[in-house]
Amino acid sequence: MNRHLIIFVKNPELGKVKTRIAATAGDAQALTIYQHLLGISQSNIHKLDCKVHIYYSSFIDDQDLFNGANMNKNIQVAGDLGEKMKSAFRDIFDQISGTVARAKVVIMGSDCPDLTSKMIGQAFDNLEKHNVVIGPTFDGGYYCIGMDDFYPELFTDVIWSTADVYSKTIQNTEKQKLTYIKLPTLHDIDHEEDWIAYQRRINSI
């Protein structure tokens, strides 16, 4: 299998997830929201034909939603988000080096409920003709990024959790003379108002 999906998840523990939501809605509500987001991620990946690599924030959970023959479980390395993603990409490309098929590796978070399995599949499809695929968020970040080879330079000099993450990543991609394609811009869930807006969107459909 030459398609590999990395998913970053936080272990769903009270007081340790969605802290910006917890600041206004409380720890219990933040945990409930995050568990709902994890459920959406789990539903999406079971519709995909790819190898799935779950990277946990604290510990490997063998009793959670993410189980199946095509799933591999790991722990994120220490460091900022860029170091974590770079290490995960390196892990997977090292594992599949030497294989005949040209690999495609996509990484996604677990806080973008508008991301569908169809979009994830399109990300893999786009890597057939492009070096990089990226899905921006409305707040200036991105909800997924994929590569057809390991390009660590994409994570250089990025100030994470700012409105410049996506634009700086594109600058890095162009500096390396890599081809790229952008997926639709989506909302992620960082604050209570993001969750409220998402609920309004789905209830209006």
- Residue whose tokens read 């007081």: 15
pLDDT digits (tens, 9 = 90+) for 2-43: 899 999 999 999 999 999 999 999 999 999 999 999 999 999
Taking alpha carbons only, the member of 60, 165, 149 closest to residue 104 is: 149
Q: Which two tokens stand for residue 150?
A: 């390991």
Q: Is the pLDDT of residue 100 over 60?
A: no
Measured between alpha carbons, how far is residue 156 from residues 153, 165, 177 in Å? 5, 11, 15
The one-letter amino acid at 39: G
- Categorize the per-residue pLDDT at 205 as very low, low, confident or very high, splitting at 50, 70 and 90: low
Please tell me the predicted confidence (pLDDT) of residue 194. Answer: 96
Query: Residue range 172-198: average pLDDT?
Result: 97
Measured CA to CA, the distance from residue 117 to residue 123 in angstroms comes to 10
Q: Which two tokens stand for residue 134?
A: 């990226």
Measured CA to CA, the distance from residue 51 to residue 71 in angstroms comes to 6
Q: Which two tokens stand for residue 192?
A: 């209570």
CATH homologous superfamily of 3-203 equals Spore Coat Polysaccharide Biosynthesis Protein SpsA; Chain A (3.90.550.10)
52 torsion bin: left (phi>0), alpha (psi -120 to 50), beta (else): beta
